[in-house]
């Protein structure tokens, strides 16, 4: 983690020098056609979880997990000959986690290779904004790599503002083409697939269509409506999730090869004077596996001084159980599909915490280009004996 921060600092210095070189010399309103640095964000977080419903061991056992994540995000921009703004984004994320439940894929191991892994997920984006017409076209590609999972993604979006610029409509298409490595629980492997080199793979594809419309009602009130349609096909189980039947036999999780999801959401922001903002969010979710869910979220940023703010937040979530879920030793041989992953069970959860944001006009600690520092902490708990804590740090360079 120390190496990542040192690398980021070196890149900041290089890009700062480049930005100074590419600064437009004409300040009379001419938009520079040279590529310039807009901002750099470095986000680091630490996540810790505990619980007693691990899917790897059939819905029982430790869910202890820790994750350290670092995301490095760079945005560059330039104007073309038609005065259209081109924005380029590069993001690289690196997560490293340790998991007690994953270590139980091999029940005989004291500390198997599965107990820890590193995920790397870079992405590239490009958008072209016609400020006169109020339209934006954007493209993006991404990938995510870890030991047992490989994902490639692509997205395309188009946005158009209303004539008075108070509203904006956005349509977006996304796809993820994934490969799942078929790592079975140790006792379900045959002699022919006991080694790492003999793991097979299975495909999983996800297609997402999204629509949104945002509207400024007045100078204090803004709303946005969100709607998604999600279709997943392929291998939707996880191969190392065990399911224990009521006769004591152990099986590999088995779920349908198709899933259809519909999330519908609404956001509303209200500005209470110069010091308070009330941000609210509600989402309804349903799918053809039998899950219906509701999410309600509120955050109230409070401006303590012109450059220091505090943001307490709270989120409540509740869902019904999937048709294919049952706890440890409840499924029977008559079940076509079976799963003991408590993420598909009936539960409710609470997530609360606060963030502090520091953005002084002369820069953080007097460093002019370090424009913002934000620290957030949250505590998450489910009513099924699972809880977690997360703390994150965001540093912005402009």
Does residue 386 contact residue 342 with C-beta atoms inside 8 Å?
yes
pLDDT at position 194 over 80 = no
Give percent of the chain with pLDDT exceeding 70: 88
Q: Looking at residue 34, what is its pLDDT?
A: 87
CA distance 152 to 176: 6
- Beta-carbon neighbour count of residue 353 at 10 Å? 18
Tens-place pLDDT, residues 107-118: 655 444 447 889
Is 70 exceeded by the pLDDT of residue 148? yes
User: CATH code for 2-25+34-397?
Assistant: 2.40.160.40
The answer on pLDDT for 390 being more than 90 is yes
Is residue 2 scored above 80 in pLDDT? no
**Which of the four pLDDT bands, split at 50, 70 and 90, describes residue 274?**
confident
Q: Please give the helix or strand (H or E) that residue 387 lies within, else none.
A: strand 386-397
* pLDDT confidence of residue 21: 40
Residue reference for tokens 């520079």: 32
Q: What pLDDT does 188 receive?
A: 86
Pairwise pLDDT comparison (196 vs 313), residue with the higher score: 313
So what's the pLDDT on residue 218?
94
Look up tokens 């997990």; give the residue: 65
pLDDT tens digit sequence for 238-262: 999 999 999 999 999 999 999 999 9
Dump pLDDT digits (tens) for 338-368.
999 999 999 999 999 999 999 988 888 877 7
Digit-coded pLDDT (tens) for 41-51: 999 999 999 99
Burial 56-79 (b: 16+ CB within 10 A, else e): bbbbbbbbbbbbbbbbbbbbbbbb
* Domain range summary for the chain, segments of one domain joined by +: 2-25+34-397
pTM over the 0.85 mark: yes
Q: What is the pLDDT of residue 193?
A: 53
């Amino acid at each position: 983690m120390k190496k990542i921060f040192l690398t980021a600092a070196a890149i900041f210095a290089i890009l700062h020098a480049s930005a100074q070189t590419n600064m437009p010399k004409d300040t009379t309103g001419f938009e520079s056609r040279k590529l310039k640095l807009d901002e750099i964000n470095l986000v680091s977080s630490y996540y810790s979880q505990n619980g007693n419903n691990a899917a790897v061991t059939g819905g029982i056992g430790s869910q202890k997990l820790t994750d350290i994540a670092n995301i490095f995000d760079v945005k560059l921009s330039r104007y073309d000959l038609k005065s259209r703004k081109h924005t380029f984004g590069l993001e690289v994320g690196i997560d490293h986690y340790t998991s007690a439940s994953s270590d139980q894929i091999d029940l005989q191991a004291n500390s198997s290779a599965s107990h820890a892994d590193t995920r790397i997920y870079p992405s590239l984006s490009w958008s072209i904004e016609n400020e006169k017409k109020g339209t934006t076209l954007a493209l993006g590609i991404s990938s995510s790599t870890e030991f047992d999972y490989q994902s490639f993604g692509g997205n395309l979006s188009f946005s158009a503002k209303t004539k008075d610029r108070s509203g904006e409509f956005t349509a977006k298409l996304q796809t993820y083409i994934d490969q799942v490595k078929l790592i079975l629980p140790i006792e379900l492997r045959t002699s022919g697939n006991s080694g790492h080199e003999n793991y097979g793979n299975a495909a999983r594809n996800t297609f997402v269509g999204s629509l949104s419309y945002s509207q400024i009602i007045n100078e204090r009130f803004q709303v946005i409506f969100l709607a998604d349609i999600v279709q997943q096909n392929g291998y939707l189980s996880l191969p190392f999730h065990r399911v224990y039947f009521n006769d004591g036999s152990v099986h590999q999780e088995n779920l349908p090869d198709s899933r259809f999801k519909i999330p519908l959401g609404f956001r509303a922001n209200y500005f209470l004077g110069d010091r308070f903002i009330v941000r609210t969010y509600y989402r309804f979710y349903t799918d053809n596996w039998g899950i219906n869910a509701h999410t309600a979220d509120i955050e109230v940023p409070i401006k303590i001084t012109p450059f220091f703010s505090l943001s307490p937040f709270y989120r409540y979530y509740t869902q019904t159980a999937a048709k294919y879920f049952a706890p440890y030793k409840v499924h029977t041989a008559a079940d076509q599909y079976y799963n003991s992953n408590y993420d598909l069970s009936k539960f409710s959860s609470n997530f609360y915490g606060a963030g502090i944001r520091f953005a002084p006009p002369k820069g953080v600690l007097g460093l002019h280009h370090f424009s913002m520092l934000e620290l957030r902490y949250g505590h998450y708990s489910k009513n099924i004996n699972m809880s977690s804590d997360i703390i994150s740090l965001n540093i912005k360079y402009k």
